[in-house]
Amino acid sequence: MNSLVITGGAGFIGSNAAAYYLSRGAAVTIYDNLSRPRTQYNLDWLRSRPGAENLRCITGDVRDADAVRTAIEHAQPDLVLHLAAQTAVTTSLRNPREDFEINALGTFHVLEAVRSLSTPPALFYASTNKVYGSMEDVALVEEAQRYHFRDFPAGIDESRPLDFHSPYGCSKGAGDQYVHDYARIYGLRTVVFRQSTIYGLRQFGVEDQGWLAHFIIAAVLGRPIKIYGNGKQVRDMLHVTDLVAAYDAAWHNLDRAAGEVFNIGGGIDNTIAIWTETAPLLEELAGHPLPVTHGDWRPGDQPCFVSNNAKLAARLGWKPTVSLPTGIRQLWAWVSENRTLFEG
């Protein structure tokens, strides 16, 4: 690979992906509106990384079609990694228009910019498991500490019907389907990744997005934690380095990945209940009990989601390598060592 554009490249996943490709000699153009808190920290970090001489940063918004097209035309990339997004269900409920304009219309702008080039680059799109909705028809078994699927022991695969159960689900799902259809209709080399819960270093989690990082930050700084629902909700956790490895596997095996949709998460071996099982781990790291309050279930919250990664493994030979206990300890250590980033 010679060149790539990463929309949202100053964010959590984007900065990790940018660092990976810079270290391998690629020219990386970051396109980001820098609206998220601490994105400047990520840019400063990237400028200190190996290969930083090949880094270019453009401050721009995916809602600006002309700016998106100009950035991609100028870079003439081999790959566009489209990560820019509004990422919280709760935010989409408060401001569905903004959510639509960023996620659905912004993705359309990126697609059209890619399609306009005489040699269109590959395009990878970060979708979400929220395109499957609340999955109320999927039978669950409730145990003392967690939920699990009764009939899907390996998790949910790509044959699951889409069901957009929130404005966020609708907007991300619209982008998901546009990206997939542009492969079929226009022959673009696109790949859709329906991502489960991603975590790792440089994640500045908040209450409505990046829950594991949010809990760790709160525990380290002595801040309150609020749990919505009963805390037995299960998620499969995927470390960001494994996600970037999947992107890279798709790029290096584009003949087997182009035009496809992949579910991707930590899988059955990296599941955890968001509080009943997470709390003991964090309390052990903290050395004391963590106070917590409870609230009602939030709209569209899935009691259980586990990604079946079988298609991705078969097509690209990919599987997660970072165990959840290892990843949690790494994230705790990073937050503890950089607590000034989270104060104030």
Catalytically annotated residues = 168
Residues 6+ apart with CB under 8 A from 53: none
In whole angstroms, what is the distance from residue 210 CA to residue 197 CA?
A: 8
- Angle formed by the axes of helices 167-186 and 106-116, nearest 10°: 20
Beta carbons of 146 and 273 less than 8 angstroms apart: yes
Angle between helices 324-337 and 278-286 in degrees, nearest 10: 40
Please enumerate in sequence order all residues whose Cβ is within 8 A of that of 188, keeping only pairs 6 or more positions apart, or say none.
Answer: 111, 114, 115, 120, 123, 182
Residue 92 CB contacts under 8 Å (≥ 6 apart), including other chains: 86, 99, 166, 167, 168, 171
Q: Nearest-5° angle of CA 172, CA 91, CA 165?
A: 50
How far apart (Å, rounded) are the C-alpha atoms in residues 19 and 26? 10
Residue partners of 299: CB distance under 8 A and separation at least 6: 89, 93, 165, 166
Contacts for 184-187: CB closer than 8 Å, 24+ residues apart: 184/259, 186/115
Q: How far apart are CA 264 and CA 319, in angstroms?
A: 9
Dihedral angle at the C-alpha atoms of 19, 40, 203, 37, nearest 10 degrees? -160
